[in-house]
């Protein structure tokens, strides 16, 4: 693969910036969905809508001028099925129980948060367990196809700009209304706090750079499967050899920096995904740790009630498996797929809502008694 060091360095930088931004603004996507049901108010969810709206505009503008015109990753432009919806539901339950999503877990881990450590262990275990039922799930996904097109404009037989424009207009009106009402700003007494709306603008820029330079939006969870696969291969090599999921290279995307299409899979090999995802993961954890240290707030806290340890592990496990089933995690679908109006991502997001509701019920019933 040509230009490998450049791809690694850029991914690392994107991760470092994301880590700092997410730590300073506490940009917790799991919390955004959870609070909608737990407290019937989710001020941070408005910032997520801002991020998605900006990305819609940026991606479409870039596509129109020919900047993002290469072939997009297969799991963004795959055909929608019930697998996306169910994956979203399960992911929603998992992220609330774990107290952070696929990326939230990383920035929380970077600042020394104890529950994030257990959530990450769960994520790795869940991604690995998926390989056991992957063949059955693949069949389920194929037999529950909901459309033979991949995006909303294709489904509506409309040109892409004509589908994007009304959505961007509606979202912008909402956002302007909230801005005028003062609802986009979070009152904060914490020094060094970054407003989530500012974080949203910055993160939209990061996802855009990732798309333009790396060839895909931010993604992480395949690497969790890779870590699990590596460990399983060490512990039980004979069983590992029978797992089809870890031996396939089904993921393809065009890498603008490598100037050709890279393929990848969930196996422990160094491939087109490890190249971009591992530096990103290290970057997010490192960026958040640096930000916490600069604020004087880096602090490892592992003293947790037992119920929370179980909840974080179990939530991580569900999230890890769900991210393989969906396929892909919330960051990929919300920040990458939704702005492109991918039907898979729309279904995943629709699934997140009942999932987060269910997770909130479980959390307050069994883990954090209010």
Partner 1 sequence: MTETEKEIVVIDVCGQICPSSLLTALREINQRKNELRDGKLQLDIITDNHDSINRIAEAVSNMGYQVSLADQGKQFRISICKTDGAIQK
Q: Residue 370 Cβ, how far from partner 1 at the closest point, in Å?
A: 5
Judged by the rule CB under 8 A, the positions of this chain that interact with partner 1 are 24-26, 28, 30-31, 34-35, 38, 44, 98-100, 111-115, 186-191, 193, 296-305, 308, 311-312, 363-364, 367-370
Closest to partner 1 by CB, 108 vs 134, is: 108
CB of 38 to partner 1, least distance (A): 7
CB closer to partner 1, 254 vs 298: 298
Measured from the CB of residue 367, what is the shortest distance to partner 1 in angstroms? 7
* C-beta of 25 vs 84, nearer to partner 1: 25
> Using CA atoms, how far apart are residues 95 and 83, in angstroms rounded to an integer?
18
Least separation in angstroms between CB 54 and partner 1: 21
Question: Cα-Cα-Cα-Cα dihedral of 205, 43, 94, 219, to 10°?
Answer: 0
What are the C-alpha distances in Å from 290 to residues 125, 195, 301? 27, 19, 17
250/253 Cα distance (integer angstroms) = 10
CB 218 within 8 A of CB 207: yes
Q: How many Cα atoms sit within 13 Å of 247 on the Cβ side?
A: 10
Task: Report how far residue 7's alpha carbon sits from residue 213's, in angstroms, rounded to the nearest whole number.
Answer: 8
Minimum distance of partner 1 from residue 312's CB (angstroms): 6
For residue 103, the minimal CB distance to partner 1 (Å) is: 14
**Nearer to partner 1 (CB atom), residue 90 or residue 98:** 98
Nearest alpha carbon to residue 172 among 161, 185, 160, 184 = 184
- Tell how many helices (H) and how many strands (E) occur in the chain: 15, 2
- At its nearest, how many Å lie between partner 1 and the CB of residue 17? 18
CB of 57 to partner 1, least distance (A): 27
Residue of 186, 224, 191, 201 whose CA lies nearest to 35 = 186
| Closer to partner 1 by Cβ: residue 25 or 141 | 25
Residue 213 to residue 72: CA distance in whole angstroms: 13
Cβ nearer to partner 1, comparing 11 with 111 = 111
Residues 74, 252: contact at Cβ < 8 Å?
Answer: yes
CA distances from 34 to 17, 41, 94, 204 (A): 25, 9, 11, 22
**Whole-number Cα distances in Å, 316 to 71, 94, 288, 307, 323:** 32, 6, 20, 14, 10
Q: Which is nearer to partner 1, 67 or 304 (CB)?
A: 304
Q: Closer CB to partner 1, residue 29 or residue 341? A: 29
């Amino acid at each position: 693969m040509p230009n490998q060091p450049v791809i690694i360095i850029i991914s690392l930088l994107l991760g470092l910036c994301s880590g700092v931004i997410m730590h300073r603004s506490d940009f917790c996507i799991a919390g955004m969905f959870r609070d909608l049901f737990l407290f019937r108010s989710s001020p941070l969810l408005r910032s997520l809508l801002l991020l998605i709206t900006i990305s819609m505009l940026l991606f479409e503008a870039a596509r129109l001028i020919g900047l993002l015109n290469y072939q997009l990753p297969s799991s963004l432009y795959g055909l929608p099925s019930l697998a996306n919806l169910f994956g979203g539901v399960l992911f929603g339950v998992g992220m609330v129980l774990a107290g952070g999503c696929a990326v939230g877990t990383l920035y929380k881990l970077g600042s020394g948060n104890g529950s994030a450590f257990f959530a990450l262990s769960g994520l790795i275990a869940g991604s690995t367990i998926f390989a056991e039922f992957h063949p059955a799930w693949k069949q389920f996904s194929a037999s529950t196809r909901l459309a033979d097109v991949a995006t909303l404009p294709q489904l509506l037989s409309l040109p892409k700009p004509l589908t994007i424009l009304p959505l961007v207009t509606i979202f912008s009106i909402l956002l302007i209304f909230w801005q005028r009402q003062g609802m986009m700003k979070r009152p904060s007494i914490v020094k060094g706090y970054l407003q989530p709306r500012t974080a949203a603008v910055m993160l939209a820029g990061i996802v855009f750079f990732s798309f333009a330079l790396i060839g895909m939006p931010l993604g992480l969870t395949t690497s969790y499967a890779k870590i699990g696969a590596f460990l399983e291969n060490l512990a039980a090599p004979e069983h590992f050899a029978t797992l089809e999921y870890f031996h396939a290279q089904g993921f393809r995307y065009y890498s603008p920096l490598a100037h050709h299409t890279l393929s990848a899979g969930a196996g422990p090999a160094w491939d087109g995904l490890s190249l971009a995802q591992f530096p990103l993961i290290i970057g997010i954890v490192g960026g958040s740790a640096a930000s916490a240290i600069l604020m004087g707030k880096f602090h490892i806290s592992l003293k947790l009630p037992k119920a929370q340890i179980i909840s974080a592990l179990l939530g991580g496990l569900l999230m890890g498996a769900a991210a393989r089933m969906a396929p892909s995690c919330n960051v990929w679908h919300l920040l990458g797929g939704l702005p492109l109006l991918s039907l898979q991502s729309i279904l995943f997001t629709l699934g997140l809502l009942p999932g987060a509701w269910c997770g909130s019920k479980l959390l307050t019933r069994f883990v954090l008694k209010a």
